[in-house]
Amino acid sequence: MGTCPESMSGRSETPRPDGPVRTCVGCRGRAPRSALVRLVLDDVTPRVAVDPERSAPGRGAWLHPSRECLDLALRRRAIGRALRAAGPVGTDAVAAWFDQHISRRTPDAPGDHESSTEKAGWKPMGTR
pLDDT digits (tens, 9 = 90+) for 20-69: 999 999 999 999 999 999 999 987 888 999 999 999 999 999 999 999 99
Residue 121 belongs to a domain: no
71 SS3 class:
helix
The pairing of beta strand 30-32 with beta strand 37-42: unpaired
Separation in Å, CA 82 to CA 8, 94, 128: 36, 15, 45
pLDDT of residue 19: 86
> Into how many domains does the chain fold?
1
The pairing of beta strand 60-63 with beta strand 30-32: unpaired
| CATH assignment at residue 41 | 3.30.1230.10
pLDDT of residue 88: 83
Q: Among 28-32, 97-101, 112-116, which is the least confidently predicted range?
A: 112-116
Q: Which residue has the higher pLDDT, 109 or 81?
A: 81
Residue 118 belongs to a domain: no
CA 78/CA 39 separation, integer angstroms:
12
pLDDT of residue 44: 80
* Size of the chain in residues: 128
Residue 78 belongs to a domain: yes
How many other C-beta atoms can be found within 10 angstroms of the C-beta atom of residue 102?
A: 18
Q: Among 46-50, 72-76, 103-107, which is the least confidently predicted range?
A: 103-107
Residue 1 belongs to a domain: no
List the domain range (segments joined by +) for residue 96: 21-103
Q: Is the pTM here over 0.85, yes or no?
A: no
